[in-house]
A and B are shown apart, each in its own frame.
Chain A
Amino acid sequence: GAGVSQSPSNKVTEKGKDVELRCDPISGHTALYWYRQSLGQGLEFLIYFQGNSAPDKSGLPSDRFSAERTGGSVSTLTIQRTQQEDSAVYLCASSLAHGSANEQFFGPGTRLTVL
């Protein structure tokens, strides 16, 4: 079946603008994760959803970042008033269920460039 998809694949924006990144998880996967990967760096955990709820948002870098998930499926990560330090690849992953034993399936990522 289809894997995790993300859109857009690339996004260039100007400082101060808002951006919205989309993630379509694998059908039936109840857990969904957002990560950020800066150039040449590892993965930084941002937030995770179990169903439509996000039990812990403390990984979000600032209050300019927000995320939601509707219908237990699609998720959007919104960054308001973007800054140059927000430039990174934003990765989404989904897994069948909650629990660290569950394999995460990653999307190809959205490369965000803030000018």
Chain B
Amino acid sequence: LAKTTQPISMDSYEGQEVNITCSHNNIATNDYITWYQQFPSQGPRFIIQGYKTKVTNEVASLFIPADRKSSTLSLPRVSLSDTAVYYCLVGAVSGSARQLTFGSGTQLTVLP
């Protein structure tokens, strides 16, 4: 079962690039890496997903090194509205079961 580790919190200023790294040393061959964003009193919302190398969409980039033991979420030019908790999720499949491990989350605070 893949265990994930993230920094508890990060601060940034508006307009800066923010990089949040998640460690998942026991990631399995079939696991994808997914990042979610959560605002207070809401459920998490999908940001980006990848398997290896680099993935980019309209809101973020995801960097995954060759060994896949970590991943880095990159948010370009953050704004105040990006203040939220960011979780990485690594899926695991074992036989017919499916265990999912969310990281403990990183509280990103964007300052003016």
Chain A residues with CB under 8 Å of chain B are 4, 33, 35, 41-43, 45, 48, 50, 55-56, 58-59, 91, 93, 98-101, 103-109
Q: Interface of chain A, helix or strand or loop or mixed?
A: loop
Q: Collect the chain A residues with CB atoms within 8 Å of residue B43's CB.
A: 4, 91, 93, 106-109
CB within 8 Å of A: which of B92-112?
Answer: 92-105
- 28 interchain pairs, CB-CB under 8 A: A42-B103, A43-B102, A43-B105, A45-B101, A48-B98, A55-B95, A55-B98, A56-B99, A58-B97, A91-B44, A93-B43, A93-B44, A98-B98, A99-B93, A100-B30, A100-B90, A100-B93, A101-B32, A101-B49, A103-B46, A103-B49, A104-B44, A104-B46, A106-B43, A106-B45, A108-B42, A108-B43, A109-B42
Q: Collect the chain A residues with CB atoms within 8 Å of residue B14's CB.
A: none
Count class of interface residues, chain B: 20 to 34
Give, as a whole number of angstroms, the nearest-CB distance from B46 to chain A: 5
Chain B residues with CB under 8 Å of chain A are 30-32, 34, 36, 41-46, 49, 51, 87, 89-105
Judge whether A55 and B97 touch: CB under 8 Å. Answer: yes
Give, as a whole number of angstroms, the nearest-CB distance from A112 to chain B: 14
Judge whether B87 and A45 touch: CB under 8 Å. Answer: no
Give, as a whole number of angstroms, the nearest-CB distance from B105 to chain A: 5
Q: Which residue of B lies closest to A57 (CB)?
A: B97
